[in-house]
Amino acid sequence: MEFKNLAKARRTERNFDAGIDISDVDVKAILQLASYSPSAFNLQHWRFVVTRDESVKSDLFAYCYFQKQIIECSAVITVCGNLSAYLEAQLIYEDQPSEVKNKFIPMINTIYSSDPELQRDEVMRSGGLVSMSIMYAAKNEGWSTGPMIGFDPKKVSLRLNLEENIIPVMMLTIGKPKTAKEERPHRYRVEELLHYETYGNANLN
C-alpha cells in the first residue's frame, strides 16, 4: 500500500473477529519488516512475545483490565525491551571495522552502564518505534492492530516469563476486524502542533 494510504488506513482496532488464526509465517513476515526500525546505536532493544494460546490469553485478559480485544484478537504481540541491550554492543559491532568498534563500544558502555533511567528511556523509545513499524507492516499485509498500555506490567512480565532485564513496552493486538471502523477520533491540525525554529513560534493560520 502506498504510505499515504497506509498512514490514513491504520486505526486502533478493538473489535476483532474471534475466529481468525494468524500463522507463524504471517507473524514473522511482519516482525521481520518491523525489525528494520532504527534504534540508538543500532542496539535493537526490542524482543517480541507472540501469544496465541487461549489459556495464556485468558490470563493476559485479566492483567489487561479485561479489555476484550485480548481475547478476540488472533494474537497478542507483547513488544518488550532489553534493558541490558548495551551489553550486546560487542556482538552487534562484530562485523564493523576496528576504528568503528573502538569508537562505539566503549562509548555505548560509558553512556548506558551506570544510567538505569537512560536504559529504560532507550527501551521505551526503541519499543515505540518498532511498535509503530509493526502496526504499519501489519496493515500493509491486511491485518488490523491495536496498541495497548492498559496492562499490569508486573503480572504480564510474570505470566510471560520475562527475564529480569526484559520489560514489557507495549502490547499489540492483531487480527481481522469484525465491524466497520468508526470515524477517526480527534486529531490536532498540524498548525496547532508546529513551532518554527524554537518552541513558541507557532503560526496558527
- Measuring CA to CA, which residue among 69, 65, 52 is closest to residue 15? 69
Task: Name the helix (H) or strand (E) containing 145.
Answer: strand 144-148
Our finding on whether 149 is near ligand FMN (CB under 6 A) is yes
Q: How far is the CB of 205 from ligand FMN (least distance, A)?
A: 26
Q: Toward ligand FMN, which CB reaches closer, 12 or 84?
A: 12
- Measuring CA to CA, which residue among 178, 77, 63 is closest to residue 135? 77
Our finding on whether 194 is near ligand FMN (CB under 6 A) is no
Our finding on whether 147 is near ligand FMN (CB under 6 A) is yes
Q: Which amino acid is at 138?
A: A
Among 1, 6, 12, 96, binds ligand FMN (CB under 6 A): 12
Q: Which cell goes with 178? A: 469484525
Cα radius of gyration (the chain):
19
Our finding on whether 38 is near ligand FMN (CB under 6 A) is no
Taking the C-alpha atoms of residue 139 and residue 143, their distance in angstroms, rounded to an integer, is: 5
Among 14, 45, 47, 57, binds ligand FMN (CB under 6 A): 14
Our finding on whether 184 is near ligand FMN (CB under 6 A) is yes
Cα separations (Å) of 16 from 21, 74, 88, 124, 173?
A: 11, 8, 38, 27, 9
Taking the C-alpha atoms of residue 67 and residue 149, their distance in angstroms, rounded to an integer, is: 11
Our finding on whether 4 is near ligand FMN (CB under 6 A) is no
Q: Toward ligand FMN, which CB reaches closer, 3 or 196?
A: 3
Among 5, 113, 150, 154, binds ligand FMN (CB under 6 A): 150
126 by DSSP, 3-state: which? helix
Q: How far is the CB of 106 from ligand FMN (least distance, A)?
A: 34
Q: Toward ligand FMN, which CB reaches closer, 22 or 70?
A: 70
Binders in 45-104 for ligand FMN, by CB under 6 A = 67
Q: Toward ligand FMN, which CB reaches closer, 86 or 168?
A: 168
Helix, strand, coil share of the chain (percent; to 5) = 45, 15, 40
Fill in the DSSP letter of residue 166.
Answer: E
**Which residues contact ligand FMN (rule: CB under 6 A)?**
11-12, 14, 67, 146-150, 170, 184-185
